[in-house]
Amino acid sequence: MKLTLIKPTIGTGEHSLYVDEGRMEPLNLGVLAALTPACVEVSLFDDRMEDIPFDVPTDLVAITVETYTARRAYEIADEYRARGVKVVLGGFQPTLLPAESARHADVIFIGDAETMWETLIRDAQNGTLKPVYKAKPGIPQPGLLTRRDLYEGKGYLPISLVQFTRGCHFACDFCAVSQYFDRQHYMRNIKEVIEEIESQQRSLVFFVDDNIAVNREALKELCRALIPLKINWVSQASIDITQDLELMGFMMKSGCLGHVIGFESINRDNLLNAKKSPNLSGFSGYGEQVSILRDHGLQTWAAFVLGYDFETEDSIKQTLEFALENHFTFAAFNILMPYPATPLYDRLKREGRLLYDGQWWLHPEYRFNNAAFVPKLMTPEALTNACHEARTRFNSVPSVIRRFLDLKTNMRTMTRMISYWKFTPIFRREVIKKHGMRFGLK
Ligand code: B12
Ligand code: SF4
At 426, the pLDDT band (50, 70, 90 cuts) reads very high
Predicted local confidence at residue 54, as pLDDT: 98
73 lines ligand 1 (CB under 6 A): no
At 395, the pLDDT band (50, 70, 90 cuts) reads very high
Pocket test for ligand 2, best of 165, 169, 172 (most atoms within 8 A of CB): 172
Predicted local confidence at residue 71, as pLDDT: 98
Answer yes or no: is pLDDT of 15 > 90: no
> What number of other Cβ atoms are within 10 A of residue 153's Cβ?
6
> Phi and psi (nearest 5°) for 139?
-60, 135
Distance CA 21, CA 308 (A): 31
Answer yes or no: is pLDDT of 292 > 90: yes
Pocket test for ligand 2, best of 96, 165, 210 (most atoms within 8 A of CB): 210
CB distance 175 to 342 below 8 Å: yes
pLDDT tens-digit map of 343-365: 999 999 999 999 999 999 999 99
Calculate mean pLDDT across residues 43-64.
Answer: 98
Q: What is the Å distance from ligand 1's center to 322 Cα?
A: 28
Distance CA 121, CA 35 (A): 10
CB distance 327 to 410 below 8 Å: yes
For the chain, which domains are there?
A: 2-134 (3.40.50.280), 157-439 (3.80.30.20)
Predicted local confidence at residue 19, as pLDDT: 87
Q: Helices 27-35 and 117-126 meet at what angle, rounded to 10?
A: 60
Predicted local confidence at residue 417, as pLDDT: 98
- Across 274-300, b (16+ Cβ under 10 Å) vs e yields bbbebbeeeeeebeebbebbbebbbbb
Q: Helices 414-434 and 397-404 meet at what angle, rounded to 10?
A: 160
What are the angstrom distances between the C-alpha of 221 and each of 160, 186, 193, 244, 262? 21, 15, 12, 14, 24
CB distance 388 to 409 below 8 Å: no
Answer yes or no: is pLDDT of 245 > 80: yes
At 327, the pLDDT band (50, 70, 90 cuts) reads very high
CA-based nearest residue to 147, from 36, 226, 34: 34
Q: Which residue CA neighbors atom 8 of ligand 2 most closely?
A: 175
Q: What is the Å distance from ligand 1's center to 377 Cα?
A: 31
10 lines ligand 1 (CB under 6 A): yes
Strands 256-264 and 232-237, bridge-based pairing: parallel
Q: What is the Å distance from ligand 1's center to 28 Cα?
A: 8
CA within 13 Å, CB half, 238: 20
Ligand of minimum distance to the alpha carbon of 184: 2
Q: Which residue CA neighbors atom 18 of ligand 1 most closely?
A: 208
Predicted local confidence at residue 403, as pLDDT: 98
The chain-wide mean pLDDT, for the chain, equals: 97
Predicted local confidence at residue 282, as pLDDT: 85
